[in-house]
Structure 1
Amino acid sequence: MNAHPPPNRRSASRLRRPVAALATLALLLTTALSPSPAGARPTDPERSARDTAAAPLQAQVLTWTAGDNFLAYRSAPTTAVAGPATLVFENSAATGNTTGMQHTLTFETSDPAYNSDVDVNILADPTDANGGRWTVDVVLSPGTYRYFCSIPGHGGMTGLLVVDGGGSDTTAPTVTAAVTGEKDATGAYLGSATVTLTAADSGSGVDRVEYALDGGAYGTYSAPVTVNQPGQHTVSYRATDKAGNTSSPQQVAFTVVEPPPTDTTAPTVTAAVTGQRDAAGAYVGSATVTLTAADTESGVDRVEYALDGGAYGAYSAPVTVNQPGQHTVSYRATDKAGNTSSPQQ
């Protein structure tokens, strides 16, 4: 299982100088590409005085060590505070490396789940020019960094560094929920309900919002959540800021019911004429027309009438006609679904 068996003395004498040169070259390239003041520097005793004067260690020093094990770092920090920091990576005989195995300390920069503003890739070897001990100055932001060893076969050497806001942000975000949709007379949502979550944080800023439906596992909220299954429902929700503060879970409850069937049937409407009549059946003095409409589905929205071929108007009370002569009253009704009956008279 040892991916790097110890070399014999003859092969070691031929390989050590090229490996050391490769380690130095890799570190110089990493330093040149780093966007932050992250110039890695050796800390061997012969150069310590000059390097300390040129670039003293930051007040916050974070140290990683490695040895013969290619499944895990021997030691690594788990938390830090936002701001300047000195990262120390040592892979030497002093940290347990007896085989000359190389390791790297590499920070993830391509996964959006982690901070990507620190670009560090240090190759350390017990036989390199610095005895396997290197340092680099960086500026850490609130959030989570992922680090790992980039040498093939060393995938188990990985971990997370959680950085808080330096103690300035200890307050969790606020998060609210709004439920929208068409409701019936009881307050239940017809067909579906949509839950919109809104979070705010005045300190380090909102990092993520999460929700859980009906007691399930929390997932990341990225857009309003629509629930269309009939029944009682709850949506639990919480938010976390970039300093790692998470709000207490809250929840909103609501009911979804089946929407009413589609109404495609027009109302029924009838007319009744009343008044005193003579022997010929004509109305004496006046006649009153009363309209009655009914709809068993969406319900009647309006009744309209027109006198003697005129324009339709809203019917609200019986219509009395007292002008002598022949008259016609046309009428119709419309339900709340927009269905209108055929005109009658």
Structure 2
Amino acid sequence: MKEIRLNKSMSYRTYPHRCEPGSLDFTVREYSLNGESTSEVDGDRLIDVTEYEGWETLSLELEVTIPEGLLGKVFPEFGEIPGMLAVTVHCRDTYLRDRLVLRRDPISSGTYSKTWEFNAQEVTGSIDLRPLLLRTTDAEDSGAYATDAGVFVADGERWRVELNDDSGEGEDLFDIRGTEFSSKRESNPASRFPAKDRLYYLDLESDAEIPVLWLNEDHEEVVPLLQSPEGQYEKLTSELAWNQVMTPVWTRLITIAATQYDSDDEEWPLDWQGAVFDKLHDAFYEDHSPEKAAERLQEELSESIEIATKRIDDAVQALLDPAEYYTKHVRTLSDK
């Protein structure tokens, strides 16, 4: 039986391909602030630096192990395995998404480690770290194995770093993956993926319970900037690009969640829809529960599109705060 929760801890039961969730051994061995003496980690997959104020850089010593026998369970290939081992980071408060690649093409069993350094200007509240093993190339349909580049085939336990007392609530609402839209349409003209000139695709058709935001890797200069920006200028540019993408994505998620809400049911039609209103109900109407906010927005969508879409736009701007990121970008250009 499938069980997926997107507004709580991620939980998976079934997949359309061979997948080994929780099989990667992931740990943060040490951390340091401002490049000073390192500290060992005491908590259970938790690092708490909330007592330290005024730090500028945070360094994490990451280590991920691919156990013997795992690759044969999730890849049909023999010899050189087209895989990538990475750790992703998500800061909900600043909407930072980044990825540190530990090893790729070919991938093999073993232990890999790297240091990841964060600047205090990039993160606040808390950050979540998740190890992933992904395919890096498309393959012919085998019926059992993952065949799309960018699809994850294994992960491990998440770690959280608490930075201050303003940490956010909830988990990711959707997965973010990458693939070439052109190759999808070449292999299947009836593919659900849009044309190769499109930048992204919010996939709600494959499995309505798991929204997936696909980034089009045909755009060889843009997508790497979104996934793995390097340097302060690239990171600021990446923030602007993410705002550009996430504005219509959030608008669509909100509209669908409100439209499909049924006040007569005790539960949300889909868990991610409840997560949307858990996060934004105060931005729509003060002193409204998530359920009441969804019901009222649904009424406004049917009565006045102008009022409802304005309310949605205001909520999305409050969430993403595009003016702040444009201001940071302009100031950086002025300093050059």
The question of a shared fold, defined as TM-score above 0.5 by the shorter chain, is answered with no
TM-score by length of 2: 0.20
TM-score by length of 1: 0.19
**As a proportion of its length, which structure holds more strand?**
1
Larger radius of gyration: 1
- RCO comparison, higher one (Cα < 8 Å, 6+): 2
